Structure 1
């Protein structure tokens, strides 16, 4: 591990894939959290409530790991986007929800935004 003379985070020589993998995992746990909160029906069903708690703790843990190396604005936007898209797409699978063409279009816009944010954070495409 190498250190720097300023206040930046030390680098380990690892690729940027680690933080992004943690962020994707945090997003997946966020989807699980949102769906289980819905299933808990206002935290009135014990099993769903406990599952929601576990997903909540996991999503926060992996988000915090990812944000050690990813800017908070980009990381949070990607995490929220994954949660929104995943919840909207899986809500009709697990619950009595509708999925319309209009929703699909706007979810595609969110996905495109998340992809562009990832590209903006890439060292290959950044102007730094």
Structure 2
């Protein structure tokens, strides 16, 4: 009886650890400025490249309403503490086939976003408009794209 109980506890422990590793592997590491990529997806529905700075739950729900127009079931918005964090959303145009890497530099009056070159350039015939969502520290500074 005691052996069966230990065996059951061991199986449950392994199962719980396996679930945790799949969740954390989808998140990317953050850089020095505290930026963290929390989502990459292949279709945003936007025709032109755009950047959005989201500072509240209402704006996040509005953005997800736009990208979920053609998704059944739709994507679920991430849980974000907007009292300490904000989101930077990049939407690629219909000619973009890769996700983006960003670098953010903080200056006295603004946050400057630099788009980094992708190391892997894929050539495909699919029409996608990828988007990425990055979480960073809350700031009242303006956003400049370079």
TM-score (norm 1): 0.27
Higher RCO (C-alpha 8 Å, min separation 6): 2
Which structure is larger by alpha-carbon Rg, 1 or 2?
2
Give the strand-richer structure, 1 or 2.
2
Higher share in helix? 1
TM-score, structure 2 as length reference:
0.25
